[in-house]
């Protein structure tokens, strides 16, 4: 089976173009409905910024995905791997529906948080319900422990961890979306090389949609991801880490189970260090502060743009080592 490079490129550029063009429409809607991030404590912007990013990214993923699936189903496009991709869609249709519904649900949860500033408990319950649905419908993490209860628990914990890691990272222009785009590209590349084409398509769609959003957010923001967007990015990256089968018995590929940890090293490290800091200082885990990696780089003398670029570079270099594994 030949590598369907053209199909993956179409997924990336379709998502990129859709997200880029959808953003001004969602931005206008956000301004009309006052769905904006107002200036305030710990914020550097002085005018209200529309929270349109998450909605544009979701549109950039789902619209090309639905269009491409319809084209394949009705034979409107033909590539070398068409039969294999259609077979994968048919075989995992329930899984794909649950994942798509989960993406919509997590975006809606973040949108409600943006709109009404949900308390930590109801937001966390919403995250758990979505994680449970994904764990029930999809592959689950096992970590070589033969226990269904353990696999459910560790899968749910993983999804919650990654969602909140990316939510925490959404603290500077371009940071969350850039790290997400890098992670999605790496997951897509790894999955494509292993012939897991549906996972690869998800990765390239996500990467394209986030890159399409970036010109509106970095270095100067005309729109924010909002909690809707950061929740969506975290959810998608968590799912992309679960769906592929990384482990093989051949040496040295046993270490390949570390692949998701390397691809997502920067957001996971940021979550870990800020959680430890808050615990040691007896501060609530869910109350934001300025002790993230980006803030620490900023206090070391880097401006915000350079701090974000340094973290992008770290994510790319550490994540690239996952391709070797």
Let me know: does 199 contact 51? Beta carbons within 8 Å: no
Least confident segment among 67-81, 233-247, 295-309:
67-81
Q: Give the residue with greater pLDDT, 72 vs 77.
A: 72
**If pLDDT is split at 50, 70 and 90, which confidence band does 33 have?**
very high
Residue count of the chain? 325
* Separation of alpha carbons 132 and 128, rounded Å: 6
Pairing mode, strands 49-50 and 36-37: antiparallel
CA 154, distance to chain mean position in Å, is: 19
* Separation of alpha carbons 164 and 231, rounded Å: 7
**191 pLDDT higher than 50:** yes
Nearest to 35 by CA among 122, 106, 121, 117: 117
Q: Give the residue with greater pLDDT, 302 vs 6.
A: 302
pLDDT (0 to 100) of residue 50: 96
Q: Give the residue with greater pLDDT, 142 vs 59.
A: 59
**Alpha carbon of 102 to those of 46, 128, 172: distances in Å?**
34, 11, 26
**If pLDDT is split at 50, 70 and 90, which confidence band does 68 have?**
confident
**147 pLDDT higher than 70:** yes
CA 182, distance to chain mean position in Å, is: 10
Looking at residues 291-302, what average pLDDT do you find? 95
pLDDT (0 to 100) of residue 79: 59
* Separation of alpha carbons 205 and 238, rounded Å: 15
Q: DSSP H helical segments within the chain, as ranges?
A: 5-32, 53-73, 82-91, 93-116, 120-137, 148-169, 175-193, 197-213, 226-242, 259-263, 265-280, 293-299, 304-324
pLDDT (0 to 100) of residue 41: 62
Percent of the chain at pLDDT above 70? 88
**If pLDDT is split at 50, 70 and 90, which confidence band does 258 have?**
confident
**If pLDDT is split at 50, 70 and 90, which confidence band does 82 have?**
low
Looking at residues 17-35, what average pLDDT do you find? 97
**Alpha carbon of 82 to those of 7, 65, 88, 258, 319: distances in Å?**
9, 15, 10, 31, 30
Least confident segment among 189-198, 246-255, 257-266:
246-255
**78 pLDDT higher than 90:** no
Q: Give the residue with greater pLDDT, 111 vs 96.
A: 111
Cis peptide before 219 (omega within 30 of 0): yes
**38 pLDDT higher than 50:** yes
* Separation of alpha carbons 283 and 273, rounded Å: 13
What is the residue-averaged pLDDT of the chain?
Answer: 89
SS3 of 18, please?
helix
pLDDT (0 to 100) of residue 6: 81
CA 123, distance to chain mean position in Å, is: 18
pLDDT (0 to 100) of residue 251: 43
Let me know: does 311 contact 292? Beta carbons within 8 Å: no
* Separation of alpha carbons 220 and 216, rounded Å: 8
Looking at residues 13-41, what average pLDDT do you find? 93
pLDDT (0 to 100) of residue 254: 57
**1 pLDDT higher than 70:** no
């Amino acid at each position: 089976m030949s590598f369907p490079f053209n199909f993956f490129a179409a997924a990336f550029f379709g998502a990129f173009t859709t997200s880029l063009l959808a953003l001004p429409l969602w931005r206008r809607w956000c301004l009309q409905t006052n769905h904006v991030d107002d200036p305030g404590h710990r914020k550097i912007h002085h005018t209200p910024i529309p929270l349109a990013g998450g909605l544009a990214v979701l549109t950039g993923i789902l619209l090309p995905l639905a269009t491409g699936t319809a084209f394949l189903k009705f034979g409107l496009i033909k590539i070398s791997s068409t039969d294999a991709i259609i077979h994968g869609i048919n075989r995992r249709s329930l899984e794909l529906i649950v994942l798509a519904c989960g993406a919509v649900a997590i975006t809606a949860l973040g949108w409600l948080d943006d709109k009404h500033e949900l308390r930590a408990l109801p937001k966390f319950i919403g995250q758990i319900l979505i994680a449970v649905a994904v764990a029930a419908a999809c592959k689950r993490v096992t970590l070589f422990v033969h226990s269904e209860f353990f696999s459910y628990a560790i899968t749910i914990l993983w999804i919650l961890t990654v969602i909140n890691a990316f939510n925490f990272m959404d603290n500077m222009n371009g940071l969350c979306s850039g790290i997400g785009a890098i992670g999605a590209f790496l997951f897509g590349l790894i999955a494509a090389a292993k012939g897991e084409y549906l996972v690869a398509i998800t990765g390239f769609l996500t990467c394209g949609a986030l890159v399409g959003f970036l010109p509106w957010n970095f270095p100067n923001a005309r729109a924010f991801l909002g909690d809707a967007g950061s929740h969506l990015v975290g959810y998608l990256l968590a799912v992309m880490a679960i769906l592929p089968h990384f482990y093989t018995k051949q040496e040295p590929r046993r270490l390949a189970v570390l692949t998701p940890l390397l691809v997502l090293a920067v957001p996971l490290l940021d979550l870990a260090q800020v959680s430890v800091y808050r615990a040691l200082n007896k501060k609530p885990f869910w109350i934001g502060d300025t002790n993230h990696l980006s803030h620490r780089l900023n206090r070391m003398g880097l401006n915000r743009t350079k701090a974000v670029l340094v973290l992008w570079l770290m994510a790319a270099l550490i994540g690239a080592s996952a391709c070797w594994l």
